[in-house]
A and B are shown apart, each in its own frame.
Chain A
Amino acid sequence: MEQHDHSSSPHDAPHTVSYVTYLLIWLALVMLTGLTVALAGVDLGRWIIITALTIASIKTMLVLEVFMHLKFEDKTFRLFVLVACVTFAIFITLTFFDYAFA
């Protein structure tokens, strides 16, 4: 674990994210929303779900990393998020072993 991780003592300088960074991330999120809405009008066939979910995932990454400070937290947190997401991915994949081959 890195040296900077002394967040357990509150008086050590906490990581402060500037307002500008937040605003830029927000702008990116709004633009991605615009993109996904615009793409919804295009006939992409079966790719429509994949593109929509990919854009949603990118937006989620931005929220997680910056708004939720995952980027600046203890590394354990990132591992936790990974475990939770992998667990959910396994649940849905294994369920589809039934439905996709029925």
Chain B
Amino acid sequence: MSSHAAEAAPHGHTHRDDVGSKMGMWLFLFTELILFGGMFIVYAVYRYMHQAEFHLAATELDRLVGTVNTIVLLTSSLTVAMSITAIQEGKKSLAMFLVGMTLVLALAFLVNKYFEWDHKFTVGLYPGSPELVNKPQGVVLYFGLYYVMTGLHALHVIIGMVVLAVMMGFIRTGTIHKGSYVRLEAGALYWHLVDIIWIFLFPLFYLLH
């Protein structure tokens, strides 16, 4: 490892170092991972303390909606991954189309999420609602975590959309092109992380009845 870095370094600032840029991005992803990790610890402890009530509460969630959203998000990861191949091949409009598809799918995910939350609110399952307060404590905790974790995930979806929209602009203006696309790679890495977090949120909230 050392010998390599030593060889790469003399170029210093004058030479672009894409590996270094990606390294920074990966380190940033770890912080996001641990951020959600903190919530997964809370989830694990409360699930351990209130097993029956967590099972009961999970039946309130619509498995179909969750599955659809999972597939939507997986597909959006596919399109953004393919956009990198497109840019490597110099196919600018294809790359833009693929990033655009990712944005559309992300939006679909959010719309779906909105209706899901909206439905929960109509049946009175929201933090502090009279309906929820009278339920067992494990159920209250489950829904507290449900809102916080999916809410924070949705926030990351929105941030990811902004990042990818900017990347799309960069492709259009030619800032990102065949010879230089590390920014698109970084944006895609962020998007895949959002996907990975959902890969865990989905079974933990929707499937463990």
Interface residues of A, Cβ cutoff 8 Å to B:
1, 5, 7-11, 14, 16-19, 22-23, 25-26, 29-30, 33, 36-37, 39-40, 48-49, 52-53, 55-56, 59-60, 63-64, 66-69, 73-77, 80-81, 84, 87-88, 91-92, 95-96, 99-100
Contact = CB atoms under 8 A, between A and B. Distances in A.
A55 to B, nearest CB: 7
B85 A81 contact: no
B77 to A, nearest CB: 6
**Secondary structure call for the A interface:** helix
23 contacts: A1-B1, A7-B18, A10-B18, A10-B179, A14-B88, A16-B85, A16-B89, A26-B77, A26-B78, A37-B63, A37-B207, A40-B209, A48-B207, A48-B208, A52-B207, A55-B203, A63-B195, A64-B196, A68-B188, A74-B19, A77-B26, A80-B23, A96-B44
B3 A8 contact: no
Interface in B150-209: 179-180, 182, 185, 188-189, 192, 195-196, 199-200, 202-204, 206-209
Interface stretch (B67-75, B108-116, B132-140): B67-75
Given A33-B74, A67-B192, A80 B18 contact: no
B192 A68 contact: yes
Contacts, number: 137
A80 B30 contact: yes
**Secondary structure call for the B interface:** helix
B208 A40 contact: yes
A89 B16 CA distance: 35
B105 to A, nearest CB: 12
B27 interface: yes
A56 B199 contact: yes
Given A8-B8, A30-B71, 17 more contacts: A10-B18, A14-B88, A16-B89, A23-B78, A33-B70, A33-B71, A36-B207, A63-B199, A64-B192, A67-B78, A68-B188, A73-B19, A80-B27, A88-B34, A88-B37, A95-B45, A100-B48
Nearest to B47: A49
B4 interface: yes
Contacts of B20: 8
Nearest to B4: A1
Contacts of B78: 22-23, 25-26, 67
Nearest to B2: A1
B40 A26 contact: no
B108 to A, nearest CB: 16
* Residue of A11, A36, A66 with most partner-chain B CB within 10 A: A36
A88 B33 contact: yes
Contacts of A74: 19, 23
B114 to A, nearest CB: 22
A16 B81 CA distance: 11
Contacts of A77: 22-23, 26
